Amino acid sequence: MDRRAFGLGAMATLSLTACAKAGPRFLTYDGPEVTSLVVNKGARKLYLLHHEKVLREYDVDLGFAPRGTKTKKGDGRTPEGSYLIDRRNPRSRYHLSLGISYPNSQDIAQAKAAGVNPGGDIFIHGQPNLRSELKRARKTPDWTAGCIAVKNYEIEEIYAMVNKGTLITLRP
């Protein structure tokens, strides 16, 4: 088994394990629980926290129109507000991904009042699996349609550390 020190002290490690005979391999995590995530859009940072303590920090790319909060489908913005990690996708087009519970009831109400579709399918994810999409992503920062993108090895760590139901706060 390949054990990698994770920089969180002697007790926190990530391990690489095979999930199925021919299936993908995933990291496992045995450190402090990630109790919340915070995205600071202006600083282009994602923080994984155990209560008030920062466990990990990552640089991120955002939607192609990163200023302001997401208001409608196709606007290229990354949402702002508090949501939950609501799904895990091991077969993502973007290496691995964790779903964010956007839109919430407030987002839906605001979009309805404006007569627009609020959009959805917002994720924290890795890099594109398709070469043509990867080439585009490497050319410019903030290349997603509204998601939060990290490097592939980083989403592997995040995927191992973050459970479904974890709070995520996205700040301007």
CATH number at residue 103: 2.40.440.10
**Strands across the sheet containing 13-18:** 3-5, 13-18, 25-29
Residue 55 lies in a domain: yes
Name the domain count of the chain: 1
Q: What is the pLDDT of residues 52-109, one digit of tens each?
A: 999 999 999 999 998 999 999 999 999 999 999 999 999 999 999 999 999 999 999 9
In which domain, by residue range, is 87 found? 33-171
> What single-letter DSSP state applies at residue 143?
-
Residue 118, phi-psi category: left (phi > 0), alpha (psi -120 to 50), beta (remainder) = alpha
Does residue 19 lie within any of the structural domains?
A: no
* Per-residue model confidence (pLDDT) at position 132: 62
> Does the residue 38 lie in any domain?
yes
Domain presence at residue 8: no
Q: Is residue 4 part of a domain?
A: no
The model's pTM: 0.84
| 25 found inside a domain | no
Q: Is the pLDDT of residue 10 over 50?
A: no
In a domain, 95, yes or no: yes
| Cβ pair 78, 71 in contact under 8 A | no
124-169 pLDDT, tens digit each: 999 988 776 666 666 778 889 999 999 999 999 999 999 999 999 9
